[in-house]
């Protein structure tokens, strides 16, 4: 869980809900069909090959 202060109130947010909110925020900026995790993995593998 996470704790958040919003409008002077301390709010407790379940981890699952916090992840869901973060995903919704990121989704606004990422085109449909783009797979950020797959891109990150590919970048890391390319870096590892370069040494």
Instruction: Please tell me the pTM assigned to this model.
Output: 0.56
Average pLDDT over residues 28-42: 94
Average pLDDT of the chain, as a whole number: 94
Rounded Cα distance between 34 and 2, Å, is 28
How many structural domains does the chain have?
Answer: 1
Q: CA angle at residue 17 from 9 to 38, to 5 degrees?
A: 135
Provide the domain limits for residue 30: 2-50
Query: Residue range 39-47: average pLDDT?
Result: 97
């Amino acid at each position: 869980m996470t704790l958040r202060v919003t409008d002077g109130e301390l709010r407790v947010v379940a981890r699952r809900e916090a992840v869901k909110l973060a995903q919704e925020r990121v989704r606004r900026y990422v085109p449909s069909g783009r797979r950020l995790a797959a891109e990150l993995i590919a970048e890391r593998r390319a870096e590892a090959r370069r040494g």
